[in-house]
Amino acid sequence: MKTLSSHAIGLVGFDGDDTLWRSEDYYRAAEQQFEQILGHYLDLGDAGTLGHLLAVERRNLAVFGYGVKGMTLSMIEAAIELTDARISARHLQQVLEIGRVTLQHPVELIAGVREAVAEIARDFGVVLITKGDLFHQEQKIALSGLQDLFPRIEVVSEKDAATYARVLAEFDLPAERFVMVGNSLRSDVEPVIALGGWGIHTPYEVTWAHEAEHDVAAGEPRLREVPTAAGWPHAVRELDALARSAHGA
């Protein structure tokens, strides 16, 4: 841990899904297959079938949490509801298989990620903070080949201010010395800024509707918008300089 350096920033957190490796693509592919199976019974088109699926996923979030297993259960539930229970067991078996395939998808790093994290880790403490199913996330971390870069990994069930506060308490670090890098303004940036920390936002080409909702102000001064991972090291140094001057160090 390099938290006691001359830097104002002591720790840089990285999100996993769609920040370090592709994830949302696999969910989108799963949804397309779901729609295809439902097409045997319905003629709703995108909005109807997937709209109902999103509604079911959202109402189940408080019981299932995030992750592929919850998505699969919601898909089965939505399929039965949408077809008024006309769907066959064989087709529901296919829906279940969508889940199994999604859980076993390959882990593809996003371009430039390894180099950027390695460069930042030379000067700052780094931690991987990823949301979702513990078992699946651990498998993805192992498959990502990034484990050697991250001395600490935190899999959390929700990325809200309370969760970040707990993680920072474990590191004994005030939020003013913490930068979070991620693709979601809602999950990676907003709660960290609310605590007094800093954010680097690198959007992914696809965003889950649920993650698209946020209250981060345009022009937020504690946030850097960075289009690709290659820009992370520079943005961290920039925020570090800002944090130093903010604290008169």
Distance CA(235)–CA(204), nearest Å, equals 17
- Letters for 57-86 (x = contact with a copy of itself by CB under 8 A, - = none) are ------xxxxx-xx-xx--xx-xx--x-xx
What contacts 243, CB < 8 A, 6 or more positions away? 8, 9, 176, 177, 198
Q: b/e map of 200-235 (b: 16 or more CB within 10 Å)?
A: bbbebeeebeebeeeebeeebebbbebeebebbbeb
- Least distance from a copy of itself to the Cβ atom of residue 65, Å: 3
Q: Which residue(s) pair with 11 in the sheet?
A: 125, 178
- Least distance from a copy of itself to the Cβ atom of residue 137, Å: 9
Q: By CB under 8 A, is residue 133 in contact with a copy of itself?
A: yes
Which residue of 138, 160, 176, 238 would you call a contact of a copy of itself, by CB under 8 A? 138
Nearest Cα residue to 187 out of 4, 16, 6, 1: 16
Considering beta carbons, is residue 36 or 245 the nearer one to a copy of itself? 36
Q: By CB under 8 A, is residue 104 in contact with a copy of itself?
A: yes
Considering beta carbons, is residue 71 or 235 the nearer one to a copy of itself? 71
Residues engaged in binding a copy of itself (CB under 8 A): 63-67, 69-70, 72-73, 76-77, 79-80, 83, 85-90, 92-93, 96, 99-100, 103-104, 133-136, 138, 155-157
